[in-house]
Amino acid sequence: MADKLKEHVYIIPLRDSRRAPRWKRSHVAMKDIRKFLSRHMKGEEVKIDQSINEYVWARGAEKPPSRVRVRAMKFENGQVQAELAEE
């Protein structure tokens, strides 16, 4: 894989997922994570790790967390990969 250009740890607010119907909130939260990372890392393709997905969906579709802490890495080819940042 290509070399890393930069790596950041972000705390992504997910409170905007409350705008969605209850049964759709975790879906919207995942879209918000992808949108946040593409905007801040300026990458075309965003790959989200399964650990983030499991964290958001842990309490079901109706109750996503209010924020998530992720480690994002941007590579030379413009791809952004994100994983859950461990404490």
pLDDT of residue 3: 74
Residue 10 to residues 18, 56, 57, 70, 81: CA-CA distances in angstroms?
Answer: 20, 15, 19, 5, 13
The predicted-structure confidence for 75-84, as pLDDT tens digits, reads as follows 988 899 999 9
pLDDT of residue 87: 56
Q: Name the strand (E) or helix (H) holding 54.
A: helix 50-56
What ranges do the domains of the chain cover? 4-84
pLDDT < 70 positions in the chain: 1-2, 87
What's the CATH number for 4-84? 3.10.440.10
Q: Are strands 45-48 and 4-13 parallel, antiparallel or unpaired?
A: unpaired
pLDDT of residue 4: 73
Instruction: State how far the Cα of 33 lies from the Cα of 35, in Å rounded to an integer.
Output: 5
